[in-house]
Structure 1
Amino acid sequence: MTIDNKTLLADTMRGYQYAREEAYSELRRAQIDDDRTAAAEAVFKINDLDVKMQNLDRLYAQAEHRPEPQQRAPSNKFGLSPEEEEIARSIGGSIKGMTDEQRLERYAQQKQRYQQARASGEYRDDQGRVTR
């Protein structure tokens, strides 16, 4: 017998919902008894269960709608994706006499230069950001 992820997630959610109802009952009892410590503990439990339920909702959504990986194979000798190819062809339009092949090659060179600068730390994505 196999257990699918949706069933497992739904069973876990029911357990969290039951525990949350119990925590609310504890909170009501603590309020009636004017027990601040017990009330605080109940609120903590409720909050913890809410976070767990939100995470479980996210997991359930991922199990329901798992996106297919969409990696496109390069369609040129420079290893550029079709999107990158389109960008490469559109840039350099003001440079007269540049062929599509030259534009693709130049884009690939710039891309490689950028990747090397990121890998070496010469260029960082956080440049210009103010952190305090």
Structure 2
Amino acid sequence: MCCKMIVSFLVVTLAVASAGVPGGPVDANINDEDVQKALRFAVAQYNRQSNDEFVRKVSKVIKVQQQVVAGMNYIFTVKLGRTNCKKGGVETLCAIHKDPKVARVRRTVSTLQYCDYLFTFLDFHVKSVPCCFFF
């Protein structure tokens, strides 16, 4: 009897541990429409806040997570490549320049369920690293 209780306890403990922290960030699908909207917002805000005269675009998505809160947090870790387009111009046809400098960015974007895509930032971390660092 005692052995069955211990085994049952271990099975439940293992199931809870493998599920992750309740309410914690979980991997998200980059192709999800809401994730894409939040990523576009994050990149646009990055370009507005950076001192670089050129626009940056996502060259590689490293990790995307989401976390259910009062709305939804989206946590992006992406590589941003510098384009050949200056800020303030037409930014839709900008190709990523073959510049060795790439910014690795981690941003958290928060949405509120009762609003239509009201995005705000919870944190902002940028680390500039050479491209070859990611090989």
Q: TM-score, normalised by structure 2?
A: 0.25
Q: TM-score, normalised by structure 1?
A: 0.26
Look at both structures and tell me which one has the larger radius of gyration over its CA atoms: 1
Structure having the larger proportion of residues in strand: 2
Structure having the larger proportion of residues in helix: 1
